[in-house]
Structure 1
């Protein structure tokens, strides 16, 4: 097979938010790249038409517009506080257009296999039959494509599927629905079922602290971000009291008392679930014990007749095309600050970070780090060697003093503030400019390009 040698170019897998901001960082640093995505356009997860996306019609961001935009490209003020998926998709399309990124992407093309060569380069086998060789590979395929289905005991006469397959509220018309799993998506979907279904239940393995989306009229993350930088042991009692004031005791709705302190699990922001519980549209049930024909039997011995079980039980992040080049914990790839492989030079992954705040800013910071490092390999090898030593040897504490639950979801979990602080200091140590201090050069709009070309033609 002919191998196309792309020299010092970088391969980006994925054209969702992480892949796009990675492309901008490479472009800013003058590094050549190719980009591949199995879908026909940019947007990744956020295009509901893309095959295998976990997005559904009622999906919204759970971090606010104000704190979720990329550096030098804020989300528009006319977006909702918590933008709908259609607004996020438009934002990503606008981002790609603003920096002229779309022209570099090969769409409807999947990376089938990644192979490391003897001289530490990377061969990429593509679904179109081509094989290309690169200096580096950045995996930015996203974290919500491989559904994690639970092993439920017994047999069931109804329909069982993962929440990844759910798209719109009409699927619940007249059905008795059980949603298994109380993450943010599970709560959204249970509320949809409560509106359209004959009956809606949500099964919870444990109790949760439910954070309202607005606190004193502002998005919850904006409210938290505006406060002083205090240790978690000091912040936690205040926010625990605040939640009690806003929600009262959620145990009155059947939600078990949490077995963990506030902030020790991924934040559950869902004002709508509390509303649905208050009005009896959704009923809380404990963990599933077994399936029994038309019925689901729960750990407390109760049983309910159910037509449809939707398992909102999360996702694995196994990168099939990358073979065994990543090691995993809890189904999550293990990397230095969730950005760079410790074992394999020039293998990166910037879309697999699990954190308690918006991910887009973290993507941006890590993309800049990767791009600066690759530029230094070319222009400042001694500084690049310094970062290589850091990648191999440093294991920073990114917990922010929070003892996250020991679950697969929280394997490698990062506190956003701690992650940002460490990455910022790393930029300073390396002498790089932090993304939020950069004015990124935008592409000339196509209409202006056409006008320029026309003027040149007339002048000639």
Structure 2
């Protein structure tokens, strides 16, 4: 019997291996880097990790359901603690010894009812199924800058430490969570720092009334989304005040309509004059950057915190060429036997969803041999079901949010689907 190939040994790949091993299903597991951990291994070539990076969801709600994070961890673990946690998960469950390290995938192609996996070293193997878990934050999105900028331009995928900013005049472009983190590094370390934002954001504090924000948010009853937006929107206005007083643009959307920005340190640095907020870039000349409001900054380093492209070069034609892979419930391909893990864009704890989805994948694979009628039934579901996973949220019009799902809506639908199929998920 042919086995399942797992590509990638970051959190998603480890979750997949755990789910398959729990059911005694054979698998082949490859990882292109020399160690496990995926993006959380700061020493892995091409990793987007940087020294000030921490989890943006709390340890309480963020670990794999089968393997909680240690009590000794802080509320928001740093990247080295997350990497240690992943190593512990792999060691405790006997996953590490089965991983072929320093082995990259070159091509995945269907061959009738199976898949051929070609490694970059030329070795090919046949598999009944393939789980693509090689991550979505490796290929930087680098938009062109207008004008003729003559200073240094880097994407934040190359950034590691605030030491790189010492003595520099820095402009950070983009205000996702990594962009906000790195802007705070620049506020502390650079000679001069500015951040350019195309739109306004709702800044969510990491603690509310002394507890992690996600713990606070899940502590009460689940409210209708329209009411939740009103309540939390009002709370943020009380906690943060009017952020336009700091030079930030007014948000053009309601709270929860973009990926949560968990960084009020940026507001602290803006309020102390350590960094200046600017709108989108209009033009550049030499080392002068002109913004849409006519203001200018003279900077010798532009750091592009402009996100990543969800590309899988070794299997792109199977996953589609849109902004996000074509995957039912963010995990099940329309090609039978092909799966993806780690591509979900949501406002919730990703490791919980990874283990739930990995468990569903493993049970679907098990059905192929042991319960073929149920396998066929779910293949029909994959091909025809189009659930609304927004929970009524109108996500902003941006490439990142094209395939965005609301965490509570996805979790509910996963459990509903599992019950329908006679499966069990954590």
- Extract unaligned runs of 5+ from structure 1: 1-6, 437-460
The 3-state SS of whatever aligns with 1:268 is coil
Would you say the 8 A contact 1:179–1:203 is kept in 2? yes
Paired residue for 1:138, among 119, 131, 134?
131
- Once the two structures are superposed, residues 345-393 of structure 1 have per-residue CA deviations (whole angstroms, 9 ceiling, x without a partner) of 1110011000011211111111011100000111111111111111111
Counterparts of 1:18-37 in structure 2 under 5 Å? Answer: 18-37=12-31
Instruction: Find the residue that maps to 2:333 and give its secondary structure.
Output: coil
Match of 2:172 in 1: 179
Secondary structure (helix, strand or coil) at the match of 1:385 reads helix
Equivalent in the alignment of 2:405: 414
From 328, 338, 341, the equivalent of 1:347 is 338
Work out whether residues 231 and 401 of structure 1, in 8 Å CA contact, stay in contact via their aligned partners in 2: no
Give the match for residue 377 of structure 1.
Answer: 368
Corresponding position of 1:361: 352
Q: Pick from 361, 380, 396: which aligns with 1:389?
A: 380
Q: Alignment partner for residue 156 of structure 2, among 140, 163, 184?
A: 163
- TM-score normalised by structure 1 residue count: 0.92
**Distance in 1, Cα, partners of 2:164 & 2:51:** 11
Q: Cα distance, 1:404 vs. partner?
A: 0.5
Alignment of 1:91 with 2:85, yes or no, is: yes
Partner of 1:334: 326
Distance 1:54 1:14 in 2: 16
Q: Tell me, what secondary structure is at the counterpart of 1:315?
A: coil
Residues 114 and 323 in structure 1, CA contact (< 8 A), matched pair in contact too: no
Deviation, 1:122, is 0.3
Give the drift of 1:328. 3.4
C-alpha distance in structure 2 between counterparts of 1:338 and 1:210, whole Å: 27
Measured after TM superposition, the shift of residue 323 of structure 1 is 3.6
Cα deviations across residues 269-308 of structure 1 (Å, max 9, x unaligned)?
A: 1021111111111110000112110111111111111010
Q: Does 1:193 align with 2:186?
A: yes
In structure 2, what is the Cα distance between the partners aligned to 1:165 and 1:358? 26
Contact in 2 for aligned 1:71/1:364 (Cα 8 Å): yes
Q: Is the 8 A contact 2:41 2:47 kept in 1?
A: yes
* 2:65 equivalent to 1:74: no
1:285-324 to 2 correspondence within 5 Å? 285-324=278-317
SS state of the match for residue 360, structure 2?
Answer: helix
1:278 corresponds in structure 2 to 271
Counterpart of 2:248 in structure 1 is 255
- Structure 2 distance, partners of 1:230, 1:385, is 37
Task: List 4+ stretches of structure 1 deviating above 3 A.
Answer: none
Q: In 1, distance between residues paired with 2:188 and 2:173?
A: 17
Whose radius of gyration is greater, 1 or 2? 1
Question: CA deviation digits over 1:176-205, x for unaligned, max 9?
Answer: 100000100000000000101011100000
SS of residue matched to 1:39: coil
1:116 counterpart residue number = 110
**Is contact 1:157-1:293 (8 Å) kept?**
yes
Taking the aligned partners of 1:323 and 1:164, their CA distance within structure 2 comes to 22
- Count of paired positions: 426
Residue in structure 2 matched with residue 9 of structure 1 by the alignment: 3
CA contact (8 A) 2:2 2:126 kept: no
CA deviation profile, 1:42-79 (whole Å, cap 9, x unmatched): 10100100000000000000011001011220001111
Q: Deviations over 1:140-167 (max 9, x none)?
A: 0111000000111111221001000000
Instruction: Find the aligned partners of 1:339 and 1:385 in 2 and give their Cα distance.
Output: 17
How far does residue 120 in structure 1 lie from its aligned partner after superposition?
A: 2.1
Q: Look up the match of 1:405.
A: 396
